[in-house]
Amino acid sequence: MSMPLSQKLFLYVLLTVAAILVFAPALLALLMSFMPSEQILTGTIIPDSLTLDHYRKAFERFPLMSYLLNSLIVSLLITAGQLLLSSLAAYAFVFLEFKGRDTLFFLFIATMMIPFEASIIPNFQTIRDLNFLNTYTGLSLPFFAMAFGTFLLRQNFKQIPKELKEASEIAGIGDLKFYLTVVLPVAKTSLVTLGVYGFLSAWNMYLWPLLATTDDSVRTVQIGLKQLQSQEQLNEWGVIMAGGIIVVLPTLILLFLGQKKLQKGLTEGALK
């Protein structure tokens, strides 16, 4: 079934306008990152010359490569931890019946309501006491348990027919084996979705990585972005925009590559 040309055209126009609107802020940043400083500061829209200076400066300002690597490690650790813990918890909430389960689930959901900024100082003290400052552990551990992920996977696991579980019990398959061989493969796509979500939010964290580190050894790239901004002096917006582009690029590439998978994950009813 194909639609009439006029309708197609109309849709394309709508799509293009929407795409331009959605992409405009990023486009502005991209443009500014190549514009000479005087032109940015005097409010030029279309620059008459372009420069790579800002990128050069951004690279000189902080150990960008090691920050990027740290971001990658921390984000991967958090993603892995979240997937593991969320799926284990979701499994218990769906397939194991025990007293107080619903109360416990509600308690889990309730943790989503605690604003992170309110718990950040006690958490910092905990990490300090555990001697986890300036470690990848300190950066990632507090985010392993994730109510949102548990919630999402629980909704997904519920799709798996109860009969399957009963049959496996009769066949003498234990819970751990059932979890590993049946539940995880079936939920693969929603795990991918959750993974991408977790990775992106971990990549974009700022306040916690700043607090939990005191030196450059495990710092992440968002801190680098902040490091480009000054307090009492004039900001070099070109350099900051260049930094912003550098920081955003890896995630955009990931999104672009993961697009198909991600969509499939969502398509297969991850969220029903």
Partner 1 sequence: MKKRLAYGLLGLSIFAAGCSSAGTEAESGTAPKTEDGKTVVTFWHAMGGQAQEALNETVADYNASQDEVQVNAEFQGTYEESLPKFHSVAGTDQAPTVIQVQEIGSMSMINSGNIEPIQKFIDEEEYDMSILEENISNYYKIDGQFYSMPFNSSTPVMYYNKDAFKAAGLDPEAPPKTYEEVEAAAKAITESNPEMKGFALQAYGWLYEELLANQGGLLMDNDNGRSDTPTEVAFNNEKGKSTFEWVKRMIDAGTFANYGTNGDNMVSGFLAGDTAMFLQSSASSRDVIDNAPFEVGVAFIPHPEAEERQGVVIGGASLWMSSGKSEEEQQAAWDFMKYVQTPEAQAKWHVGTGYFAINPAAYDEQIVKDAHEKMPQLKTAIEQLQATKPSPATQGALMDMIPEERKIMETALETVYNGGDVDEAFNTAVEQVNAAIEQANAARGN
Partner 2 sequence: MSEAAVSIQSEAAELIGKAKRKRRIQNTVKGLLFLLPSIILFSVFLFYPMIRTVYLSFFLTNTSGMPTVFVGFDNFINIFTSPLFQDSLKTTFLFVLYTVPGTILVSLFLAVLANEKLRGIGLFRTIFSSTMGISVAAASVFWMFLFHPTMGWLNQFLSVFGVEAIGWLTDPKWALFSVALSTIWMNIGFTFLILLGGLQSIDSYLYESADIDGAGYFYKLRRITVPMLSPTLFFVVTVTLINAFQTFGQVDMLTRGGPQNETSVIVYSIYRDAFVNYQYGTASAQAVVLFILILLLTLLQFKWGERKVHYQ
Sign of CA dihedral 143, 146, 152, 153: positive
With binding defined as CB under 8 A, does residue 38 bind partner 2? no
Interatomic CA distance for residues 91 and 265, integer angstroms: 19
137 binds, among partner 2, partner 1, none (CB under 5 to 8 A by kind): partner 1
Interface of this chain with partner 2, residues 147 to 166, rule: CB under 8 A: 147-148, 150, 152, 155
- By CB under 8 A, is residue 241 in contact with partner 2? yes
Beta strands in the chain (DSSP E): none
Residue 125 or 263 having the CB closest to partner 1: 125
- Tokens (6 digits) for 167: 């049959």
- Kindly report the number of other CB atoms within 10 A of residue 183's CB atom: 21
User: 156 with 235: CB under 8 angstroms?
Assistant: no
Output the smallest distance, CB 258 to partner 1, in A.
23
- Nearest approach, Cβ of 229 to partner 2 (angstroms)? 8
- Residues of this chain, 66-95, that bind partner 2 according to CB under 8 A: 84-86, 88-89, 91-92
- Binding residue for partner 2 (CB under 8 A) from 181, 214, 217, 263? 263
The residue from 34, 105, 144, 157 that contacts partner 1 (CB under 8 A) is: 144
User: In this chain, which of 8, 56, 128, 177 binds partner 2, going by CB under 8 A?
Assistant: 8
Closest CA to 84 of 180, 160, 205: 180
Please give the Cα distance from 203 to 71 (Å, whole number): 6
Q: 64-93 mask for partner 1 (x: CB under 8 A)?
A: ---------x---x--xx--xx--x-----
Closest Cα partner for 265 from 195, 192, 197, 160? 192
> Strands, DSSP E only, in 86-185?
none
Part in contact with partner 2 (CB under 8 A); list of ranges 46-54, 61-69, 72-80, 145-153: 145-153
Output the DSSP codes for 21-51: HHHHHHHHHHHHHTS-HHHHHTT-SS-SS--
Residues 6+ apart with CB under 8 A from 75: 199, 202, 203
Per partner kind, with CB cut-offs from 5 to 8 A, the member of partner 2, partner 1, none near residue 51 is none
Number of residues that bind partner 2 (CB under 8 A): 90
Our CB check for partner 1 shows the closer of 2 and 233 to be 233
Instruction: Tell whether residue 240 is a contact of partner 2 (CB under 8 A).
Output: yes
- Per CB under 8 A, the segment of 25-33, 51-59, 61-69, 72-80 that binds partner 2 is 25-33
Extract long-range pairs of 127-130: CB within 8 Å, 24+ residues apart: 127/212
From 42, 49, 103, 267, residue interacting with partner 1 (rule: CB under 8 A): 42
Question: Contact 156/184 with Cβ under 8 angstroms?
Answer: no
Residues that bind partner 1 in the complex, under the rule CB under 8 A: 37-38, 40-43, 61, 73, 77, 80-81, 84-85, 88, 121, 124-125, 128, 131-137, 140-141, 144, 174-176, 207, 210-211, 214-218, 223, 226-237, 239
